[in-house]
Structure 1
Amino acid sequence: MSQPFVDVLTLGVWQANCYIVGDSERGTAFVVDPGQDGEGPVTKALAARGVTCEAILLTHAHLDHLWSAPELARSLDVGVRMHEEDRWLWDEPGAGIGAAPGNLEAQFGLVWDPPHERLETFRDEHTMTIAGMQVDVRHTPGHTPGSSVFITDDLGDAPVMISGDLIFAGSVGRTDFLRGSWEEEARSIHRVVLPQPDDMRIISGHGPETTVGAERRSNPFVHQIMADLGSPEPAIGKPVTKQRRGL
């Protein structure tokens, strides 16, 4: 009998959520968004569960979500999977937050030396099998061009969306960084999040867990998106003046 689990580690100064998703019975797992100083905590969490990591997945390639991916890819001997549209951030992650090229060490103390041979990019939406689970990959641009969410029905009674910085409890991801787009983010939420069942769990890149139903009822950004994006699709308005989150 399968014993699926999701563990969350909140990492670094940006308090980004890293998820370890796996099955204790199978002894396998995957890691999502290993952020700042995450190598030690992730390695210990995998050992505590007695599971082997099969891959690292990135919802997007901002620094607070991929900081520890290179070290973990090497130490765990696994690949890193992300959307092709965020490849530019894998090559130069500081670009997403306005850091000067090659200046991450001076600004953040990070020597960025990614193992390019371990990077596996995808473009099309698809379903992958990983750690014995079926995981649907949906492209959700807006926060970054390559932002994606991972959806699975294999973690208990309710389906789960690992949303990265697309949507949070009561908020949505920032779009004021380089190549961000509020219009694209609104369309992504309308296309991917809102059609989901109310009981779908959303475990996001920052903050607490929520559900699709809770965000449909109380998230002011979602209310605006539902008002703006009827059928046929009207022009998208500016976001309401509420705090948005995520690096």
Structure 2
Amino acid sequence: MLVTGFPAGAFQTNCYILAKDGASECIVVDPGQNAAEPLFEFLAQSSLTPTAVLLTHGHLDHTWSVEPVCEKFGIPAYIHPEDRYMLSDPLRGTGPALAAMLGDAEFHEPREVIELADGDVLELAGMSITVDHTPGHTQGSVVLRTVAETDDGPVQIALTGDTLFSGSIGRSDLPGGDHEQLLRSIAAKLLVLADDTAVLPGHGGSTSIGQERASNPFLVGLAGSK
């Protein structure tokens, strides 16, 4: 499986592209500010066509370019219903501090939006993607999980958005945030995963569940539970 990404825009939000080896189709996750042009260039060079855009949550730094990407390829965007309102009204999810950066920019939903639910298994571009609802950073935050076949066997991948980072966790001081709920989500949906699960967060470098279980200071005393 091809799993690649790049940080985009002032927020350095990781935009990911996932595709099966040798495939012509892919999925895009979290195309943020200034992500469209480098994404289009990569897709053209790689002869890949996206079939969907998946959003880990509704904050603008993760959704800024979703409409132009969906429009160019005629594809749907997937988002949890609790965060869908932010596609057209991002300030409701971030507060007035972002207003100056936006200026007179307008945002709209893509033509087709499909709502995600906890436990969904999406069959896209030849891959199975499992959806875990992880509220706390926002009420509609999700983790997206898939399995990559490697020479050493299958490896689970978790795209965690702003729920879990290398050495940190998502902020909970924006509208819809709840720190204790975030910790419960991490315990219930992430700390139950195998230590070798690869974690691809919304910002910063990759890590693993085992690494975060052992060394993330925000997770001290937090046990995985179902």
TM band (smaller chain): over 0.9
Match of 2:128 in 1: 134
The 1-side partners of 2:132 and 2:178 are apart by 17
Match of 2:59 in 1: 62
Match of 2:115 in 1: 121
The yes-or-no answer on 1:149 pairing with 2:143 is yes
The 2-side partners of 1:12 and 1:141 are apart by 25
The 2-side partners of 1:111 and 1:224 are apart by 44
The 2-side partners of 1:110 and 1:77 are apart by 26
Q: Pairwise mapping of residues 120-199 of structure 1 onto structure 2 (< 5 A)?
A: 120-154=114-148, 156=150, 157-199=154-196
The 2-side partners of 1:32 and 1:40 are apart by 15
Give the counterpart of 2:95 among 98, 110, 115. 98
Give the C-alpha shift of residue 122 in structure 1: 2.3
Give the C-alpha shift of residue 24 in structure 1: 4.0
After TM superposition, the score normalised by the length of structure 2 is 0.92
After TM superposition, the score normalised by the length of structure 1 is 0.85
The yes-or-no answer on 1:26 pairing with 2:23 is yes
The 2-side partners of 1:221 and 1:160 are apart by 21
Q: Which has the larger radius of gyration?
A: 1
Q: 1:110 to 1:171 in 2, by over 3 A?
A: farther
RMSD between aligned residues: 1.9
The 2-side partners of 1:132 and 1:110 are apart by 40
Residues 45-86 of structure 1: CA deviation (Å, up to 9, x unaligned): 111211110000000010100000011110111110000110
Q: Where in structure 2 are there 5+ consecutive unaligned residues?
A: none
The 1-side partners of 2:166 and 2:156 are apart by 17
Counting aligned pairs with the same residue, the percent is 36
Q: Where in structure 1 are there 5+ consecutive unaligned residues?
A: 232-247
Give the counterpart of 1:9 among 6, 9, 15. 6
Q: SS at the partner of 1:136?
A: strand
Q: 1:180 to 1:216 in 2, by over 3 A?
A: same
Quick one: which amino acid aligns to residue 183 of structure 1? E
Give the C-alpha shift of residue 225 in structure 1: 2.5
Structure 1 residue ranges (4+ consecutive) displaced by more than 4 angstroms after TM superposition:
none
Q: Which is further off, 182-191 or 217-226?
A: 217-226
Give the counterpart of 2:213 among 211, 216, 231. 216
Quick one: which amino acid aligns to residue 68 of structure 1? S
Quick one: which amino acid aligns to residue 213 of structure 2? R
